[in-house]
């Protein structure tokens, strides 16, 4: 056990994967010599050399496309895209090829690669550096999309993603990279993909979120307990596939649901969760499912970003609303 923050936990997972499986290779911009813009790959180039930890030209489509080819031929590539806002040039490779090769070759070929992408706002970053467009990946057939919110989950889910025989988009909440430390086992362990987890028990309302919004949801839950509201917080962890059973069970239990994401609202994950809840738990609902989301706007720059990324105030307001309904 070592106390690690989320970035260090990911580094530890990558280190183990590189050490234990010769097929594992890292590929990305500035991940080698400098250890990545967030230092998540720190020290790995020095430890495993430039053939295992590969600094790539500035070309996201090329990086994902090359990794895709590598994966088909037996390598286990782990790609880093510098920020989610720079993943769009690679979107065609992901939707048209990475997510399809198993289907289009009827299992003859597969592409077990992991695409790690820091995402999300809340730190007043420059344009394009605060994207939260995870829904477009969750909407993409043939891939899995997961988001850890704790160091423990980050390591175990990344190791599970690497072991997965199918492609996984692994989103890392920038805002949580160094936010908290947690005891994390030194050895390999797997946190299964596709499974949500309850991070706080509660009986009045179910709060669904993932990534950095889990922390905001917990903050709100704590605050609301002072008002006598018992809020359950569920970390979805996996966006594709979504753990519908966990969602539906919680909604049926409490009868009140709020979903929190920092992404654009229209056709985002909050809408998906709301659709599922009403579909399978309608008759238990005591109030409409509230969506607390980023707006359908570009993430505003530092000066107004707090009007966009949900936090204590907006989450609490939504919870109070479902309580009063």
Ligand X SMILES: Cc1ncc(C[n+]2csc(CCOP(=O)(O)OP(=O)(O)O)c2C)c(N)n1
Q: Give, as ranges, the residues between 60 and 119 that touch another protein (CB under 8 A).
A: 60-62, 65-75, 85-86, 89, 92-93, 96-97, 101-110
Could you say which residues in the range 29-68 bind ligand X, by CB under 6 A?
29, 58
Annotated catalytic residue: which of 107, 128, 129, 306? Answer: 129
Distance CA 104, CA 97 (A): 9
Binding letters toward another protein, positions 237-266, x by CB under 8 A: ---xxxxxx-------------------xx
Could you say which residues in the range 119-148 bind another protein, by CB under 8 A?
124-129, 141-142, 144
Under the criterion CB under 8 A, does residue 307 sit at the interface with another protein? yes
Nearest-10 crossing angle of helices 244-254, 269-281? 60
Which residue, 158, 121, 137, is CA-closest to 87?
A: 137
Within 10 angstroms of residue 107's Cβ, the number of other Cβ atoms is: 8
Residue 109 contact among another protein, a copy of itself, ligand X, none, beta carbon within 5 to 8 Å by kind: another protein
Phi and psi, residue 219, nearest 5°: -55, -45
Buried-exposed string 36-57: b where 16+ CB fall within 10 A, e elsewhere: bbbebbbebbeebeeebbbbbe
How many residues sit in the footprint of another protein (CB under 8 A)?
Answer: 90
**60 burial class (0-12, 13-18, 19+ CB within 10 angstroms)?**
buried
Collapse the DSSP code of 192 into the 3-class scheme (helix H, G, I; strand E, B; otherwise coil) and give the result: coil
Under the criterion CB under 6 A, does residue 189 sit at the interface with ligand X? no
The answer to whether 15 touches 44, Cβ cutoff 8 Å, is: yes
CB of 48 to a copy of itself, least distance (A): 31
Binding site residues, a copy of itself, CB under 8 A? 61, 85, 88-89, 91-92, 95-96, 99-100, 103-104, 127-128, 133, 135-136, 138-142, 240, 242, 263-264, 266-272, 274-275, 277-280, 282, 285, 287-291, 295-298
Distance CA 269, CA 119 (A): 15
Could you say which residues in the range 70-129 bind ligand X, by CB under 6 A?
82, 86, 89
Residues with catalytic annotation? 129
> Which positions lie near ligand X, rule CB under 6 A?
29, 58, 82, 86, 89
């Amino acid at each position: 056990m070592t106390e690690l923050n989320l970035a260090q936990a990911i580094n530890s997972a990558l280190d183990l994967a590189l050490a234990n499986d010769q097929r594992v290779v890292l590929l990305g911009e500035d991940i080698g010599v400098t250890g990545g813009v967030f230092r998540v790959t720190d020290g790995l180039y020095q430890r495993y050399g430039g053939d295992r930890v590969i600094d790539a030209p500035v070309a996201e489509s090329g990086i994902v496309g090359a990794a895709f080819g590598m994966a088909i031929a037996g390598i286990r590539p782990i790609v880093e895209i510098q920020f989610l806002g720079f993943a769009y040039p690679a979107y065609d490779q992901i939707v048209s090829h990475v997510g399809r090769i198993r289907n289009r070759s009827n299992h003859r070929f597969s592409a077990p690669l992991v695409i790690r992408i820091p995402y999300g706002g809340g730190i007043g970053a420059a344009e394009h550096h605060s994207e939260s467009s995870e829904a477009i990946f969750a909407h993409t057939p043939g891939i899995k999309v997961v988001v850890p919110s704790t160091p423990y989950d980050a390591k175990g889910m990344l190791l599970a993603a690497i072991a997965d025989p199918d492609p996984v988009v692994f989103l890392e909440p920038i805002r949580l990279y160094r936010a908290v430390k947690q005891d994390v086992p030194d050895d390999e362990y797997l946190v299964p993909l596709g499974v949500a987890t309850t991070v706080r028990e509660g009986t009045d309302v179910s709060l669904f979120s993932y990534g950095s919004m889990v922390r905001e949801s917990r903050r709100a839950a704590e605050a609301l307990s002072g008002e006598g509201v018992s809020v359950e917080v569920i970390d979805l962890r996996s966006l594709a596939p979504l753990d519908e059973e966990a969602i539906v069970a919680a909604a049926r239990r409490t009868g009140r649901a709020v979903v929190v994401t920092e992404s654009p609202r229209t056709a985002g994950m909050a809408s998906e969760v709301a659709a599922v809840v009403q579909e399978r738990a309608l008759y238990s609902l005591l109030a409409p499912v509230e969506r607390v989301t980023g707006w359908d706007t570009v993430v505003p720059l530092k000066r107004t970003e707090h009007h966009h990324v949900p936090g204590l105030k907006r989450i609490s307001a939504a919870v109070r609303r479902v309580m009063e309904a």
